[in-house]
A and B are shown apart, each in its own frame.
Chain A
């Protein structure tokens, strides 16, 4: 796999940004909103790819970390009426501070994912079950009357996502990324080579938590509120799913994973209403379809489509 120079990568990202700019003008409002949601998932899935794919740790509670970021952003906005960019930055830091490390990570993150909603209910400050409002304000008037709120969200989310992914790629190509790969391959050898395992893993988790916090803040922006029910256990599992579909080991498939998460329930719903008979069937068919797709993906394309393509290319090259 040829690696692009940093300058070339930057150029590609800028091109992507321009393409997104034109795309946002060409599609209707519903798609623009879905685009913002895709951006949220891209960052969320990237956080899992970093944690699990690169560093080999499993977190079942990424959704809770998204929640931390979302609440931090909302609280900052309400208490200090700070401009959104500062909100996002602090969201990242706060979530990163909430890092955990050590064994039995899966159980602890799972318990966190379940416990987070209750915490919001205990403290009046966090708004309880009904949640807090997170208002990023209207787009600047100079953009014109037709510039909808959702387009504004899409722009903000896309920009944040492009920056975050670009930065993440930089990190993964740096010595930190290499050390994670080394630990993932053979942790005994890595330790012998002088890598401090604990610090290595903690760094991965901290960065992952920070990305998750950003994703949560973006999510809060798109729904205009934060509440415990916006970060359910299902969110953590969706992100894991998206990461698996994307290909947990590489960042390349992250868009595929994110788009799938947004598109599949839609398609499944459409299929269900066409073929559904009783209420029981119609409302459960989407769930059934999504679960089946999940299982098929894990069984047959376990490393994700991107890796599969690379493997096939290498296989052909070796013939």
Chain B
């Protein structure tokens, strides 16, 4: 009994982190119709800045804010300088699909190389602010701790904030409009370019939180080649696709779904299926519902 409960808890908390990354990906997709492969690299860079902030301010939460700001700033910078030139040169033709992928991959390589040259390849540690010791129920220990609770609360908060921004504010409306019909939005007076940059900035902030919380999920140690970060993007991407690339709520649902199913498969079938499970999940979801769980069927744009 406790095993099922624990598996669910594992799935929920890991799913929460996937959701954050998925949200980052969806934010960029919705604003510029590009999959940003450098997302995890940006999250990594933001996390290192968070590490420096912890050294400076000795407070995790302040460092988290710093990391978010840094993530937003770097992402916005990349959108303004890099992506605009890229999209201008490659806006049509088959290259349009592939070029952003290649370019952001190149970006990822550069970010990783620069990080390693600056901070070295060995682990650095950001001590988690809250204890990771599980809560006890009688003689059993739950796979749930104050830190993990904080992770879930943070994710929930971000989801609520982002949803509010998108649904209730003018900027949110502008964001949605610029993604779906940029020409019309421009005619309506929306500063489409500015809004796109904003989308990227929000994505960078979300990615930074994902990165920092990811390190706090475990012991707080990470390095440029940390498997956690390489896996983070793939998991986030699959979660985003499962959820239907076009909605933030979908991203969250996709993340939780992926987390839960993976946890149960690893626990009750075999724990070596970690890389196969997402693939099978993806195939099944797309087979049954090709547009993802929340996605809307792509209409024909003549």
Contacts and interface: CB of A to CB of B under 8 A. Distances in A.
A and B touch in the complex (CB under 8 A): yes
Interface of A: 52-54, 56, 58, 60, 102-104, 106-108, 110-112, 114-115, 117-119, 121-122, 184, 188, 237, 240-241, 243-244, 248-249, 280-281, 284-285, 287-288, 290-292, 294-295, 298-300, 302-303
Given A118-B276, A299-B85, A294 B105 contact: yes
B7 to A, nearest CB: 20
A56 B95 CA distance: 8
Contact of B272 (A103, A104, A122, A300): A122
A288 B102 contact: no
Contact of B290 (A102, A111, A121, A298): A102
A284 B117 contact: yes
Given A280-B116, A290-B109, A291-B106, A110 B237 contact: yes
28 contacts: A56-B97, A58-B98, A102-B290, A103-B291, A104-B245, A104-B290, A107-B282, A108-B286, A110-B234, A110-B237, A110-B238, A111-B283, A117-B275, A118-B272, A184-B94, A237-B102, A237-B105, A240-B105, A249-B93, A249-B95, A280-B117, A284-B112, A285-B113, A287-B113, A290-B109, A291-B110, A298-B103, A299-B85
B278 A111 contact: yes
Nearest to B115: A284
B168 interface: no
- What are the nearest 5 A-B pairs in CB distance? A291-B109, A294-B106, A115-B279, A107-B241, A288-B113
Contacts of B101: 58, 60, 106, 240
Interface residues of B, number: 51
B106 A111 contact: no
Given A104-B286, A184-B94, A291-B110, A302 B241 contact: no
B114 to A, nearest CB: 7
Contacts of A119: 276
B109 A287 contact: yes
Is chain B's binding surface mostly helix, strand, loop or mixed?
Answer: helix
Given A52-B94, A103-B290, A295 B300 contact: no
- Among B82, B98, B110, B117, find the residue whose CB has the most chain A CB atoms closer than 10 A: B98
Nearest to A57: B97
B288 interface: no
Nearest to B90: A302
Interface in B81-98: 82, 85-86, 89-90, 93-95, 97-98
Contacts of A188: 300, 302
A281 B117 CA distance: 6
B106 A248 contact: no
Contact of A108 (B99, B272, B282): B282
A122 B276 contact: yes
Interface of B: 35, 82, 85-86, 89-90, 93-95, 97-99, 101-103, 105-110, 112-114, 116-117, 120-121, 234, 237-238, 240-241, 245, 272-276, 278-280, 282-283, 286, 290-292, 298, 300, 302
A280 B245 CA distance: 38
Task: Name the residue among A117, A240, A244, A290 with the largest chain B CB count within 10 angstroms.
Answer: A244
A242 to B, nearest CB: 10
A287 B112 contact: yes
A102 B112 contact: no
A284 B290 contact: no
A106 to B, nearest CB: 7
Nearest to A296: B106
Contacts of B279: 108, 111-112, 114-115
Contact of A280 (B94, B98, B107, B121): B121
B49 to A, nearest CB: 19
Given A114-B275, A115-B275, A287-B112, A295 B103 contact: yes
